[in-house]
């Protein structure tokens, strides 16, 4: 499951989570060019996988047609695994996902991951526009997952089959920000990715549930937990803190229900929020799963996070406005893998 060529940090692989952010004053086309360029660099630097996340109705995020962008990134690279982090299964008919990822796997065999979540990845109005019904609120996710896995199993006697998809061995991951997916992935013997980069409060509880309830399967003999991290690295702590103001503005926009493109960094972040908002964003941005600093600071905090979580893999999201600064952030982390 884990690419042998990937370099490791303290014995564990590092991967990348990309939302294809649309910068203020830019457009989706430029975001896709940046994603492909970052993926090419990530492959050279030894990252293990490159995942893209499904979001909708967000002017600052271009990854809504997730499977299409996965194909774009896979076509721009040669070896790195490419996948979804994740596809929100309640938004789609399982047959469609089986066909889409069966197609991707046929194009790029042995390189495609299918990470699945049960959240809508959007607001309720957008969820309705996607599904045309709100009868499903994620509670039937286990049934949807079973239907999807049945399509990949490709039983010749089934009335409906996925072509491509049937009989293809595409690794399925479950993603979550609470204990639900942790327990389900453990019961099914699947790898689990926890969204600790935006739900740090439930991180240790979810990990404990996953490890305590894990049952070996034909897909996975031992539990494999990948943890999300927001990480911004620069030459100095001061520059990293400056770059991180884009991410902090994004946190603030989410709290204010403000629709906006990804903002450039600013010198004085205190000028844009109230004391209450500052405290709320600080609670999010000061979590162990948020790492901001120069190389020494990043190294120390990464070691602390790995020691705390005993993670099998880390997946890093770097919300940085300038493309060259984002490349440099991932390059600094890659140097720690050498």
Task: Of 102, 116, 107, give the one whose Cα is nearest residue 175.
Answer: 116
- Residue 46 contacts residue 6 (beta carbons within 8 Å): yes
Mean pLDDT of the chain: 93
- 6-23 burial, b at 16+ Cβ within 10 Å, e below that, comes to beebeebbbbbbbbbbbb
Confidence of residue 123 (pLDDT cuts 50, 70, 90): confident
Tens of pLDDT along 195-244?
Answer: 998 888 899 999 999 999 999 999 999 999 999 999 999 999 999 999 99
The percentage of residues in the chain with a pLDDT greater than 70, rounded to a whole number, is 96
**Residue 33, CB-side half-sphere exposure with 13 Å CA sphere:** 8
Task: State the distance between the two ends of the chain, measured CA to CA, in whole angstroms.
Answer: 22
Distances 145 to 37, 140, 212 between C-alpha atoms, Å: 33, 9, 22
Q: Are 103 and 133 in contact (CB under 8 A)?
A: no
Residue (of 81, 86, 59, 70) closest to 32 by Cα position: 70
CB atoms within 10 A of CB 94: 20
Q: Where are the alpha helices (DSSP H) in the chain?
A: 28-45, 66-76, 94-107, 124-131, 141-153, 179-188, 203-213, 237-255, 275-285, 295-309, 323-335
Q: Where are the domains of the chain?
A: 8-231+310-335
CA 74/CA 69 separation, integer angstroms: 8
Residue 129 is predicted with a pLDDT of 86
pLDDT-derived band at 1, boundaries 50, 70, 90: very low
Positive or negative, the Cα torsion across 86, 90, 92, 95? Answer: positive
Tokens of 59: 């002017």
**Is it true that domain 8-231+310-335 has CATH number 3.40.640.10?**
no
**In terms of DSSP bridges, do strands 112-117 and 172-176 run parallel, antiparallel, or are they unpaired?**
parallel
DSSP string, 129-159: HHHS--S-SSTTHHHHHHHHHHHHHT-TT-S
What pTM, to 2 d.p., does this model score?
0.95
Q: Are 167 and 161 in contact (CB under 8 A)?
A: no
Question: What is the number of alpha carbons within 13 Å of residue 127 lying toward its C-beta?
Answer: 16
Check pLDDT > 80 for residue 4: no
Residue 324: is its pLDDT beyond 80? yes
The tokens describing 34, both together, are 């940046």
Q: What is the mean pLDDT of residues 63-85?
A: 98
Mean pLDDT, residues 273-291:
82
- Give pLDDT, residue 2: 43
pLDDT in tens, 149-202: 999 999 999 999 999 999 999 999 999 998 999 999 999 999 999 999 888 889
């Amino acid at each position: 499951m884990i690419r042998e060529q990937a370099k490791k940090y303290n014995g564990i692989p590092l991967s990348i989570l990309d939302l294809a952010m649309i910068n203020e004053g830019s457009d989706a086309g430029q975001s896709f060019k940046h994603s492909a360029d970052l993926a090419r660099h990530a492959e050279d630097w030894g990252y293990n996988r490159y995942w893209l996340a499904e979001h909708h109705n967000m002017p600052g995020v271009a990854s809504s047609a997730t499977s299409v962008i996965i194909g774009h990134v896979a076509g721009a690279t040669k070896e790195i695994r490419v996948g979804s982090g994740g596809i929100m299964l309640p938004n789609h008919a399982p047959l469609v996902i089986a066909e889409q990822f069966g197609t991707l796997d046929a194009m790029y065999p042995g390189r495609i991951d299918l990470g699945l979540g049960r959240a809508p990845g959007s607001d309720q109005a957008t969820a309705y526009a996607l599904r045309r019904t709100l009868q499903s609120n994620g509670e039937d996710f286990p049934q949807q997952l079973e239907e999807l896995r049945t399509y990949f199993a490709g039983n010749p006697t089934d009335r409906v089959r996925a072509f491509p998809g049937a009989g293809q061995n595409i690794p399925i991951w479950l993603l979550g920000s609470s204990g639900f997916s942790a327990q389900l992935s453990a019961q099914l013997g699947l790898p689990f990715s926890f969204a600790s980069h935006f739900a740090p409060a439930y991180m240790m509880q979810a990990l404990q549930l996953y490890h305590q309830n894990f049952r070996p399967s034909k897909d996975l003999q031992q539990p494999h937990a990948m943890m999300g991290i927001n990480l911004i690295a620069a030459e100095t702590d001061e520059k990293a803190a400056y770059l991180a103001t884009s991410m902090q503005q994004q946190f603030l926009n989410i709290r204010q229900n403000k629709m906006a493109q990804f903002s450039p960094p600013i010198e004085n972040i205190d000028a844009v929020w109230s004391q209450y908002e500052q405290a709320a964003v600080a609670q999010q941005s000061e979590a162990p799963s948020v790492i901001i600093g120069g190389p020494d600071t990043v190294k120390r905090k990464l070691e602390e996070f790995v020691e705390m979580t005993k993670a099998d893999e880390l997946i890093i999201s770097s919300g940085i406005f300038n493309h060259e600064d984002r490349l440099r952030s991932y390059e600094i982390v890659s140097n720690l893998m050498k």
